[in-house]
Amino acid sequence: MILLTKNDPFPNINFVNKDGILAIGGDLSTERLLIAYRNGIFPWYNKGEPIIWHAPKKRMVLFPKELKVSKSMKQIIKKENFKVTFNQNFKEVIHHCKTISRNNQSGTWITDEMEQAYLKLHKLGIAKSVEVWSAKKLVGGLYGVDLKFVFCGESMFSLVSNASKMAFIFLVQKLEKEHYKLIDCQVYNEYLASLGAREIVKKDFMKILLSKGKFE
């Protein structure tokens, strides 16, 4: 594990510890975040902690064609009680993800600094959101970093049952039509596993992530 100053580059991603932690420190500048995501690294830490950079040995991903939609969820979609939009209210989505109460969590990992960093990425067209509405009220959504052929999911929220699931399903279906290779879900999550996500080894993940060569 490497301690970074503001100007230090990331170490090789193979230098992670047993918990998948690559480095600690650095900053959340736009430049560093872009380098991180393009190289399979993401920040994940709690308020009061230094920035912790992760590159887990197993990566939770969803290949769009492997999306699983349950019969009950298909019925909910068919009823059209929800409206889904893309990238229409990023600021409110990330704020809900930051402030919503979650089971078995005493606080949020989305710090004020992190919220502002992703708002900057959004203004550059890199961080994007999905919104789910009911009766013109925002009731669910998600946000992540769009690498054009890989979408790196960051967080989701739901104020009513199935709203976040609706956001995820519609995102995956949209990305499949646009020929995205995968959705990066980062670490194992039973909720996303039920929707078809699975773990792959880091080597396979990086092969896909780097397959497009240089970024524009």
pLDDT over 80 at 108, yes or no: no
Side-chain-facing half-sphere of 47: CA atoms under 13 Å: 11
Q: What is the per-residue pLDDT across 80-106, written as a single tens digit (0 to 9) for each? A: 999 999 999 999 999 999 998 766 544
Q: Please check whether residue 214 lies inside any domain of the structure.
A: no
**Which two tokens mark 82?**
């929800």
Provide the CATH number for the domain around residue 16. Answer: 3.30.70.3550
Please give the average per-residue pLDDT across 131-147, as a whole number.
97
Give the tens place of pLDDT for each residue, 152-196.
Answer: 999 999 999 999 999 999 999 999 999 999 999 999 999 999 999
Query: How far is it, in rounded angstroms, from Cα 89 to Cα 92?
Result: 6
Letter for the amino acid at 35?
Answer: I
Say if residue 160 is in the same domain as residue 190.
yes
* 173 in the same domain as 147: yes
The per-residue pLDDT for 47 is 86
Q: Say yes or no to pLDDT of 213 above 90.
A: no
Instruction: Please count the structural domains in the chain.
Output: 2
Yes or no: say if 133 and 119 are a contact pair by the CB < 8 Å rule. no
Q: Is 215 inside any structural domain?
A: no
Q: Which residue has the higher pLDDT, 18 or 108?
A: 18
Contact 60, 205 (CB under 8 A): no
The answer to whether the beta carbons of residues 150 and 181 sit under 8 Å apart is yes
pLDDT band at 68 (very low <50, low <70, confident <90, very high): very high
Shared domain for 86 and 181, answered yes or no, is: yes
Q: Residue 122 sits in which domain range?
A: 60-209
Report how far residue 18's alpha carbon sits from residue 39's, in angstroms, rounded to the nearest whole number.
Answer: 19
- Single out the residue in 41, 56, 71 at which a domain terminates: 56
User: Quick one: 200 and 105 in the same domain?
Assistant: yes
Task: Among 10, 41, 56, identify where a domain stops.
Answer: 56
> Over 90: is that where the pLDDT of 209 sits?
yes
